[in-house]
């Protein structure tokens, strides 16, 4: 499956496309004429996995007209017996400020293979359209269409044999957490619930979800641009929003805010050193405590579970896998 196109970002700030008007160093550069260049921040890999992980993987097209595709992860244990009970499905959305990232990034490929094995779940990682070429709500629309694709193909392939379509969890980290929340909200409307039946969204798993606002929070002021604490800085956060939101929208736009979903269980994974910490905590405080569970991972920053290789981060990443497993299986 074709991954997100990555182009070398030149060192100078001018080119045939004119001056640079927006930039997150090392990730993306946008020129005056609208040309976009993305760097190879993380290697893109094919769906192969080491045998010892105990997970098989493949890529599928969801919508060829928009080039939206997904990477599927299946724990090998389900192939040992035809009598095995059907497994929950995690539909996952990657981070990257809505503007970067790919389902083929090596860091996600490794992490989601581990998540599939640990949680005993099928995982479908959606490679949605990116801003600024496709502004929000394009990513939300791709998420909804991914669920409709599941409904359409549920009797055509392994899903009908292996998947418990009554136990679907929408999950994602950073911008992907925002997408999971907003897609779940769209599907929770009465009309859309009928649209996806017999599928059922049982819960959402929001990992350091990317929400924002014009007023600065305490964690935003504390972490700000300290890259030692968090790979996401306040400056880059503001840039991602400018690139992803509809033209002339501020950070008070509804896309920047979490949506409360009354009938859906939610797990919120918070990193203590994350610039977004307070946004996630506010979401938990404003919701039904019976439906929202929060876990705070101490001493680690944004995206630690996929990008930080320190011993502490690795320990916390393993704990996160255990927390997700317990949330899904009510253990």
Q: Which residues are catalytic?
A: 174
Q: What CA–CA distance (Å, rounded) separates 119 from 168?
A: 13
Biggest alpha carbon–alpha carbon distance for the chain: 62
Please check whether residue 256 is in contact with residue 245, taking contact to mean a CB–CB distance below 8 angstroms.
Answer: yes
Q: What are phi and psi of 297, to 5 degrees?
A: -100, 110
Polymer length in residues for the chain? 331
How many CB atoms are closer than 10 A to CB 81? 8
How many CB atoms are closer than 10 A to CB 197? 11
Helices (H), 58-100: none
Outline where DSSP puts E strands in the chain: 14-15, 18-24, 28-31, 36-38, 55-63, 68-75, 87-93, 122-127, 163-173, 201-207, 265-271, 292-297
């Amino acid at each position: 499956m074709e991954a997100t196109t990555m182009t070398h970002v030149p060192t100078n700030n001018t080119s045939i496309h004119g001056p640079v008007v927006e930039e997150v160093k090392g990730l993306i550069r946008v020129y005056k004429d609208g040309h976009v260049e993305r760097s190879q921040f993380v290697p893109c890999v094919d769906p192969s996995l080491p045998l010892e992980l105990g997970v098989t993987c493949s890529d599928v097209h969801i919508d060829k007209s928009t080039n939206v595709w997904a990477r599927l992860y299946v724990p090998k244990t389900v192939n040992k017996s035809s009598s095995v009970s059907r497994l929950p499905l995690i539909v996952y959305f990657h981070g990257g400020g809505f503007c970067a990232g790919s389902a083929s990034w090596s860091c996600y490929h490794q992490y989601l293979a581990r998540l599939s094995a640990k949680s005993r779940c099928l995982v479908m990682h959606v490679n949605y359209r990116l801003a600024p070429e496709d502004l929000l709500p394009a990513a939300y629309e791709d998420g909804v269409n991914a669920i409709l694709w599941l409904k359409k193909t549920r009797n055509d392939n392994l899903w009908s044999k292996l998947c418990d379509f009554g136990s679907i969890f929408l999950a994602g980290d950073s911008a992907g957490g925002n997408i999971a929340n907003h897609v779940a909200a769209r599907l929770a409307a009465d009309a859309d619930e009928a649209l996806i039946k017999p599928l059922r969204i049982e819960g959402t798993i929001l990992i350091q979800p990317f929400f924002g606002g014009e007023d600065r929070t305490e964690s935003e002021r504390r972490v700000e641009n300290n890259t030692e604490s968090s790979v996401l800085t306040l400056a880059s956060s503001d840039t991602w929003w400018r690139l992803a939101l509809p033209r002339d929208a501020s950070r008070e736009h509804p896309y920047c805010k979490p949506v409360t979903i009354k009938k859906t269980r939610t797990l919120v994974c918070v990193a203590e050193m994350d610039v977004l910490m307070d946004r996630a905590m506010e979401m938990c405080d404003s919701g039904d405590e019976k439906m929202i569970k929060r876990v705070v991972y101490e001493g680690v920053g944004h995206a630690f579970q996929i990008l930080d290789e320190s011993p502490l981060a690795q320990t916390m990443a393993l704990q996160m896998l255990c927390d997700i497993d317990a949330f899904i299986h009510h253990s």
